[in-house]
């Protein structure tokens, strides 16, 4: 399922993940969209660009990548069979929750 996740990232971003700048770009896009960090080195290991050994990514890394695709977490991505609805970019699942978007949509009322 990890390979499906990586393929979905490539599809959504249009990056081939074959050059150093692809990994730097993805790392920046993740930070800009989610305010979460995954280093380009971690992404390179995940894609097998460097150290093409049997890499076991951390759950948090997989969750961030799944959220980047619009899923709640990696488990949700797996439950969907790795299939992403391309019609609705960023909001593909009814139980999707991103705190940054929630607070933009539900600003707190100042106490008067």
Every domain of the chain and the residues it spans = 2-105
What is the pLDDT averaged over residues 102-108?
40
Cα–Cα separations (whole angstroms), residue 63 to 42, 50, 60, 69? 14, 22, 5, 10
With a cut of 80, say whether residue 11 has pLDDT above it.
Answer: yes
For 39-58, how does the pLDDT look when each residue is reduced to its tens digit (9 = 90+)? 999 999 999 998 767 778 99
DSSP notation for 3-28: HHHHHHHHHHH---S-SHHHHHHHHH
Region of 25 (left: φ > 0; alpha: ψ -120 to 50; beta: rest) is alpha
Position 85 scores a pLDDT of 56
The pTM of this model reads: 0.74
CA angle 93, 58, 82 (to 5 degrees): 30
pLDDT band at 59 (very low <50, low <70, confident <90, very high): very high
Predicted confidence at residue 89, as pLDDT, reads 44
């Amino acid at each position: 399922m990890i390979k499906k996740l990586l393929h979905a990232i490539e599809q959504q971003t249009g990056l081939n993940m074959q050059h150093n700048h692809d990994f730097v770009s993805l790392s920046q896009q993740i930070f800009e969209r989610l305010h979460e960090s995954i280093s380009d080195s971690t992404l390179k290991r995940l894609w097998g660009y460097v150290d093409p050994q049997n890499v076991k990514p951390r759950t948090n890394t997989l969750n961030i990548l799944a959220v980047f695709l619009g899923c709640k977490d990696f488990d949700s991505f797996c439950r969907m069979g790795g299939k992403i609805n391309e019609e609705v970019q960023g909001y593909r699942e009814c139980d999707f929750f991103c705190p940054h978007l929630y607070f933009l949509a539900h600003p707190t009322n100042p106490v008067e």
